[in-house]
């Protein structure tokens, strides 16, 4: 049986006995004298519990996109801009009555960009955001 012992440093006698030690973690056999002499530590999970998620309804879908402005918003995730620009080409060729606007969002996908949201709301626009994964 093996126990995991957490320590700030690996005891010299554990290293001399040939036991594995790395970055303050030593694997010590429970049947040895070394294990009997050293106290064990309790390890707690530091991740905790996430707060409950507040559910929100999705935005209502328009009956048609004709006459609407669709913002294609890139958050600079690998290749997201290429995908959105291809989508813009397709929409221009196949949906000529829909205006598309390509924008790069400030910050990461979870960061707020109030200027961009204000711009989209000002034209009663719709948005496709390429987040990735």
Cα(26)–Cα(9) distance, rounded to whole angstroms?
A: 9
Residues 80 and 123 in one domain: yes
Residue 98 belongs to a domain:
yes
Q: Region 108-113: what's the mean pLDDT?
A: 86
- Structural domain total, the chain: 2
- Indicate if the pLDDT at residue 54 is higher than 50: yes
Residue 63 belongs to a domain:
no
Find where tokens 């309790």 sit: 42
Residue 81 belongs to a domain:
yes
Residue 51 belongs to a domain:
no
Residue 79 belongs to a domain:
yes
- Indicate if the pLDDT at residue 31 is higher than 90: no
pLDDT given for residue 19 in this prediction: 47
Residues 80 and 33 in one domain: no
Task: Render pLDDT for 57-85 as a digit per residue (tens, 0 to 9).
Answer: 988 889 999 999 999 999 988 888 999 99
Residues 78 and 31 in one domain: no
pTM summary value: 0.58
Structure tokens of 1? 């049986």
Domain encompassing residue 77:
69-130
- Indicate if the pLDDT at residue 51 is higher than 50: yes
Residue 103 belongs to a domain:
yes
pLDDT given for residue 34 in this prediction: 59
Cα(5)–Cα(30) distance, rounded to whole angstroms?
A: 10
Residue 54 belongs to a domain:
no
Share of the chain above pLDDT 70, in %: 71
């Amino acid at each position: 049986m093996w126990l995991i012992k957490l320590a700030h440093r690996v005891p010299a006698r554990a290293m001399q006995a040939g036991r594995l030690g790395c970055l303050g973690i030593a694997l010590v056999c429970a049947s040895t004298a070394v294990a009997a002499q050293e106290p064990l530590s309790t390890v707690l999970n530091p991740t905790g519990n996430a707060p409950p998620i507040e559910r929100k309804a999705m935005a209502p879908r328009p009956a048609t996109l004709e006459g609407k402005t669709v913002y294609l918003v890139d958050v600079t995730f690998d290749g997201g801009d290429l995908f959105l620009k291809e989508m813009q080409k397709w929409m221009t060729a196949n949906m000529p009555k829909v205006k598309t606007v390509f924008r790069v969002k400030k910050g990461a996908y979870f960061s707020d960009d109030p200027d961009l949201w204000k711009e989209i709301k000002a034209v009663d626009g719709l948005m496709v955001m390429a987040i990735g994964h």
